[in-house]
Amino acid sequence: MDKNVVVPGMSNLASPRYGATYNGAYGPVAGPYSAPKSDWIAPGQPQTVEVPKPVPVPVPAAKQPNTPAPNSSVMRAIADANMQSAVDKVTQQREVADKMEKLERQAAINDQINESVKQEEQRVIDAANRRMAEVHAKKAEEANAAFKAIESASNERKATEAAARKKELDAVTRIRSTHATNVVA
């Protein structure tokens, strides 16, 4: 690229790479000019394109039918360890599930026990209520019998008093009539 641009003759204003070079103002660039940095490339300019080179990939040889795989003992040990880990996890989960089932069975038994205790309590309460009702009925009957006895004694006393008064009145009336006949007037 031509870094020195001659202004008087206006020659050499076009650079082979960037075309006409201006300084962004009103005229050609008077001094050296560096092109802006960008990805833009003028049309028609050669561009470099990278072509990927093929990389050879090693292909393993075909495995013979009865030969063990390479590092098969290591792979077998890893598989055994993984299997043992899985078995341990399953065993642990089964133990937890067994404990949960045992707790659920115990909870069901506890519920049955609580229900039978409630029923027994209700039976005891009902029996106590019946006994109290019987006691109250018996006391009521005794009270009624006592009241009737008091009433009959009161009536008997009144009848006895009435009979005694009548007897006394009869005696007084008889004595009066006896004395009235003995009196001389």
The domain total for the chain is 2
pLDDT, position 172 = 86
Check: CB of residue 20 under 8 Å from CB of residue 14: yes
52 is a domain residue: no
179 is a domain residue: yes
Segment 85-117, tens digit of pLDDT: 999 999 999 999 999 999 999 999 999 999 999
pLDDT, position 185 = 57
Range of the domain at 10: 1-32
22 is a domain residue: yes
96 is a domain residue: no
84 is a domain residue: no
56 is a domain residue: no
First-residue to last-residue Cα distance in the chain: 196
Q: What pTM was computed for the model?
A: 0.35
Residue with tokens 């940095």: 37
Does residue 133 have a pLDDT over 50? yes
Give dist(CA 28, CA 162) in Å, integer: 163
136 is a domain residue: yes
Segment 160-181, tens digit of pLDDT: 999 998 988 888 888 888 877 7
